[in-house]
């Protein structure tokens, strides 16, 4: 099963993929509105044959916004969504990127994809 890890943000979305027990960073998509974001996700789903989303969720107002986004994805793409706590994933992804020696420019460009990878890996670890 191909699973897409998603780190939702208001301007960009980090993505990670897994077809085994290991999540890997995929890419970051930038968008202006929900419709553009969903269309870009639709393309990823089709090309990568994604069967499930693991969507990172935080607390408070951002959690409400994330749930609203998830409902739109389910409506438009007909893909099951599982929520996974994303607390501190951005900070942890930055720390791991620094430890791995990834240059600042690449780190900044892919930090949301790295966060999505941690979200997805956490989910995979919880079901294995």
Superfamily of domain 3-127: YqgF/RNase H-like domain (3.30.420.140)
Distance of CA 102 to the CA centre of its chain: 20
Q: Note if the pTM is more than 0.85.
A: yes
CA distance 40 to 22: 24
Per-residue pLDDT band for 31 (boundaries 50, 70, 90) equals: very high
Q: Is residue 23 scored above 90 in pLDDT? A: yes
Lowest-confidence region among 69-78, 94-103, 114-123: 94-103
């Amino acid at each position: 099963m191909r699973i897409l890890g998603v780190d939702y943000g208001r301007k960009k979305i980090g993505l990670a993929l897994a077809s085994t027990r290991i999540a890997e960073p995929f890419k970051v998509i930038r968008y202006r509105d929900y419709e553009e974001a969903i269309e870009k996700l639709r393309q990823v789903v089709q090309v990568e044959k994604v069967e499930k989303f693991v969507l990172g969720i935080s607390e408070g107002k951002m959690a409400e916004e994330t749930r609203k986004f998830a409902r739109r994805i389910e409506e438009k793409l007909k893909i099951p969504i599982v929520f996974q706590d994303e607390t501190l994933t951005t900070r942890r992804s930055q720390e791991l990127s620094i430890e791995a020696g990834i240059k600042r420019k690449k780190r900044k460009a892919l930090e949301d994809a790295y966060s999505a990878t941690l979200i997805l890996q956490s989910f995979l670890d919880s079901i294995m």
